Amino acid sequence: MPSSRPRYLIALLCGLLLAPYSPAFAQSTSQRSIAITVDDLPAGAANSMTAADILDMTRKLVGTLHDQKIPVVGFVNEQKLYKIGEVDDRIKALSLWVEHGFELGNHTFAHTSLNRVTLQAWEEEVIRGETVTRLLLAQHKMKMRYLRHPYLDAGLDLQTRREAEAFLSSRGYHVAPITMDAWDWMYAGVYDDARKRGDTELQQKLVSSYLSHTTDVFEYYEKLSRDLFGYEPPQILLLHGNWLEADHIGEVLELLRKRGYKFVTLEEALSDGAYSSPDEYVGEGTGWLDHWAITRGKPPQNTPVFPQWVIDRSRELHRQAPNPTAAPY
C-alpha cells in the first residue's frame, strides 16, 4: 500500500517522541490542575496594618494574579474592615478583588472556629460575615456561594458537622475544601518583620524555605492523591492575604506550572468526583485528602515536617508583640 511507509514513519517518530513518557508519568505531570484560594482577606495581619499598607499589598497581589489570568476565590473576615477612619479604604481593598474579576467567599465575620463555639454562635458569625461581601459581589452580578472554615475546623462531632453543612446549604453555600497547604501564614509573620527591618537576607532565606516546603507538600499530596484515587484530582491550594504572597506568589505559580499544573476555578475543581467521596472526618482542622484517607481508616503517614526554625522565630515575635493574637489560618 502506497501510504504504509509514511504511516510507519509517523508511528515510529511518535513512538520515539513518546518513548520516555510512561502513562504513569504522563498522568502525574501533564494532567494536573489546581484552584487557588486566598484566605483572611482583606489581610491576614489586617489588625496590625494600616489601610494604606493593606491597599498596597492587595494591589500587588491582585495585580500578579490578574496579569497571569489565575482564577481565584478570596475568603473574607469582615471584622477586619471595622477600624475607625479606615473603613472605606479597607472595603476598597476588598473591592479590588471583585473589580479584577475575582470571586469572594465567606470566612466568617471574626474567623471563628466551629470547634470552639456552639453551632448557633458559629452560624451567627457566618451571617454577620455576609454583609459587605454580598454587596460587593452583587455590584458585579455575583452571589456569595462558598464558605471556608476558619482553621479548617469543620466540627468536633459528626452531628455538628452535618448540621453546620445543612445550615450552610440552606443559605446557598458550598463548603470550600482545601487539599494543599504549606502554612504560608506561619512564614508571613516572620517575613513581615524582616521586611519592616529591611533584613533582605532573612527575607530570601524565608522565601527559599517556603518554596522548598511548598514543593514537599505538593509531592506528598500528589502521591497521597494517587494512593487514594488512582489519579490526581484537581487540587485546591490554601494561601493567605499577606506581603509574602504579594511579593512572591509569582514564584509559587511558576513552581506549579513546572509541575504540570493548569489553573482552574474552584467550581471546576469541585466538579471532580473525588470531592463527593465519603468524608466522616471530625476533629482538628486539616485538609480534605487527610479527611478522605482517615475516613477509609488509613491516616496519612510521614507528612512533610514544617521547618522548626520558622516556628521558633514566629513564636518569638508573638512574645514580643504588644497584643499577641492567635495565628491566622
- Contacts with Zn ion by CB under 5 A lie at 39-40, 329
Nearer to Zn ion, 146 or 329 (CB): 329
| Inter-residue contact 86 to 43 (CB < 8 Å) | no
CB 207 within 8 A of CB 249: no
Q: How far is the CB of 329 from Zn ion (least distance, A)?
A: 5
Minimum Å distance from CB 149 to Zn ion?
Answer: 9
Least distance in angstroms from the C-beta of 150 to Zn ion = 5
Q: Which residue has the cell 477586619?
A: 80
Q: Which is nearer to Zn ion, 129 or 233 (CB)?
A: 129
Residue 72 or residue 274: which is nearer to Zn ion going by CB?
72
Measured N-to-C along each axis, helices 184-197 and 200-229 cross at an angle, to the nearest 10 degrees, of 170
Which residues, 6 or more positions from 274, have their beta carbon under 8 angstroms from its beta carbon? 225, 229, 233, 292
Q: How far is the CB of 249 from Zn ion (least distance, A)?
A: 17
Q: How far is the CB of 168 from Zn ion (least distance, A)?
A: 16
Q: Rounded to the nearest whole angstrom, what is the least distance from the CB of residue 302 to Zn ion in the complex?
A: 26
Q: What is the Cα–Cα distance from 62 to 320, expressed in whole angstroms?
A: 31
The helix or strand, by DSSP H or E, that contains position 38, with its residue range, turns out to be strand 32-41
122 vs 261, which CB is nearer to Zn ion? 122
In the complex, residue closest to Zn ion by CB: 39
Task: Return the number of the residue (39 or 86) whose C-beta is nearest Zn ion.
Answer: 39
Q: What's the DSSP call for residue 325?
A: -
40/232 with CB nearer Zn ion: 40
Helix (H, G, I), strand (E, B) or coil at 239: strand
CB 263 within 8 A of CB 36: yes
CA distances from 120 to 160, 171, 174 (A): 10, 14, 19
